[in-house]
Amino acid sequence: MTQSSVQKQQASTDDPFLWLEDRNSKQSLDWVHRQNALTVAELQGDPSYQDTFETALDLMTAEDNMPVGTALAGYVYNFWQDKTNALGLWRRATVASYKTDKPDWETIIDFDELSAKEGVKWVFGGASRLYPDFDRCLLYMSPDGGDASEMREFDIATKSFVEDGFRAPASKSGFSWLDKDTVIVSAAFEEEDKTQSGYPRVIKLWRRGAKLEEATPIFEGEKHDLAVGGGVEYDGDKRHMLLGKTLDFFTSHSFLRLASGENRRIPLPDDATDTAIFKGQLIFGVRSSWTAPDGTRCLPDGLYSVDFDRWIDTGTFGPFEPVLEPAHRVSIAGLARTQDRLFINLMDNVRGKVIACDRTADGWSLKPVALPDNGNVGISHVEHFGSSVSFSFTDFLTPSSIIWSDDNAEALATVKSQPARFDASPYVSEQFEARSKDGTMIPYFVVRRRDQKGPVPALLYGYGGFEVPLLPGYAGIRGRLWLDKGNAYVQASIRGGGEFGPAWHQAALKGKRQNAFDDFAAVAEDVVRRGVTTAAQLGIQGGSNGGLLTGVSLTQRPDLFGAIIIDVPLLDMLRYTELPPGASWIAEYGDPSKPEAAAWLGAYSPYQHVAVNAAYPPVLLMTSTADDRVHPGHARKMAARLQEAGHGGTLFFEETEGGHGGRGDRRPQAAQTAMRYMFLQRALAGMA
């Protein structure tokens, strides 16, 4: 038996709380209910809780919240929730009406009404509409708010499900239209159809009138792959059927299905990213340097193109062209395209920009879109078959707005703005840098009162994983429930995230993960050194991978913090691959079944490092029974181990419905939000 397997077996054998990994057992749920009762009594019993909850709910469900939508064939589609429509309305308005102060919305589906009729609390998961009329869709609905969704064919014109139409039970499968009578199914129903992570392994073609189990397989991945997926991409009047095999979170193989039935591999590097097909060109970026067949050196944070039509005809690539050259601390946030223009969303030192690209006979021409500076600029929607595009703009103190164009971003107009939810005039947003343990400078933002005279309670938020950036954004709830109480907010751009492209992420990958934890600690020390706050007044929060971050912060540097919130976290890193779909994250963290990876995972895994005699600050762990992305066992076991070790300041709450993102009814979401702020206020004021 190898050292790693012995270590893994010992971790399981020595784990007195392994039974809490059984998601729905009576023993586990009885424990959850007891913990919930204690936490609710503690936090909801505070005299300030009810006002805090009502403020959060009012802001989440306000009727004047800005409706964000996607334009398609003359309509803007929007999903809307308020106090009356708890599970929400899927609705649409004409583009002209959407631009007015009071759009005339047409309800397509009322999910509260549907749920009452069918006796299931359906949570809307999106829809795939049928080209070219877009009057039919494949509708996704989750029965519990998790990632697994049921699919049904729906007629938008008649506002009804199609009798004897396409329909599939809840799963993590994917569906997209090939044509009106054929659906591309990325199947994850039966065990043989799934990867070891529980995602689709087989792609099939499902003909109208046939049973789902009679669908024809056309592509397969390996059991150890992350997932497969298929869909159709239109480039003008050309239709391309693309199939993909995701090897792990950061590498994949893409295939074009030819008319002959051949699945031809597109010969890009495994770590290609930011791909698009536009005017016969295949545009792509890379996560690591790559020399193209013609000798062109392709670099991270740059974009390149090659003649895709020629490759389809000949099977070989021609010359490669640079579209966008790399620049210092500028990274690519994403690509989007209308019918006639390609848009590149950039992050320049954690601030947004958009570049418009045109393809002419002379090659690529680029020009910046005239959007506001010094904030978070994103592409809100693009009309793939038209010329409309919209952009979002926000920062920590500026409510979000939608800037719209009907002519490929030539003429721009602000058509929607979120109402201000707090008076931002007393506050300032600043960007600083902290020196991490290895000397790397780590940017972070501080939002606080201009006239702050001394240290105040502060909330530090971080993530640091999966190449995901944390960007400035307006949050009315944070303004009302935190800033307006005299507190400060800090947001850290630590390594592991995507703020500065692939290299920033790779600096905290696998065995380098400690860099992210050191970065976060360095930011905490720096805000104290600057006098923004004190260690006793500093609370931290993170969710999912950010929950791992705050869990490690608890066990490694409890002296730096006065309160710790750990949301939907990974915490037992020696068993995370045993809790589905944990195996899908091996490319990020490493495989604990391998000795080298087990060594670095074991060095920081929070669950294994809970100490009996440590002076831990108060801790609040939150998770969800229905979370099918990060298993609730992580948070459950950590809470139990902390409490067993005598850390009485440990609170645990598990929502019994809603998935990883807390989808569904806003009331439980508002309650959780209110409890987090009550916990922070009490802990940082010395009441916990």
- Give the active site residues: 544, 660
| Long-range contact pairs involving 116-125 (C-beta distance under 8 Å, separation at least 24) | 121/87, 121/145, 121/657, 121/664, 121/665, 122/87, 123/87, 123/658, 123/659, 123/663, 123/664, 124/79, 124/87, 124/88, 124/90, 125/149
Beta-bridge mates of residue 182: 179, 207
Q: What is residue 203's three-state secondary structure?
A: strand
For residues 189 and 277, give the distance between their C-alpha atoms in angstroms, rounded to a whole number.
31
For residues 41 and 542, give the distance between their C-alpha atoms in angstroms, rounded to a whole number.
24
Q: Nearest-5° angle of CA 79, CA 176, CA 171?
A: 75
Phi and psi (nearest 5°) for 675? -65, -40
For residue 502, give both structure tokens.
């692939």
Are 285 and 300 in contact by the 8 Å Cβ rule? The answer is yes
**Closest by CA position to 380, among listed 365, 400, 362, 364:** 400
For residue 572, give both structure tokens.
């037992």
**What does DSSP assign to residue 450?**
T
The arrangement of strands across the sheet holding 619-624 comes to: 427-435, 441-449, 488-492, 458-461, 538-543, 563-567, 619-624, 650-655
Who's near 269: CB < 8 A, 6+ residues apart?
286, 288, 290, 298
Question: 446-457 burial, b if ≥16 CB within 10 A, otherwise e?
Answer: bbbeeebeebbb
Strands in 317-412 per DSSP E: 320-324, 330-337, 342-348, 352-360, 363-368, 376-382, 389-394, 401-405
CA–centroid distance for 544 within its chain: 10
**Closest by CA position to 469, among listed 424, 434, 500, 509:** 500
What is the number of H-type helices and E-type strands within the chain? 14, 39
Q: What is residue 54's three-state secondary structure?
A: helix
Kindly report whether the peptide bond that precedes residue 581 is cis, defined as omega within 30 degrees of 0. yes
For residue 487, give both structure tokens.
């507190």
For residues 166 and 577, give the distance between their C-alpha atoms in angstroms, rounded to a whole number.
34
Positive or negative torsion for Cα 338, 341, 345, 351 = negative
Are 125 and 140 in contact by the 8 Å Cβ rule? The answer is yes
For residue 222, give both structure tokens.
């390996």
Are 446 and 432 in contact by the 8 Å Cβ rule? The answer is yes
For residues 247 and 584, give the distance between their C-alpha atoms in angstroms, rounded to a whole number.
9
For residues 95 and 77, give the distance between their C-alpha atoms in angstroms, rounded to a whole number.
9
For residues 512 and 496, give the distance between their C-alpha atoms in angstroms, rounded to a whole number.
9
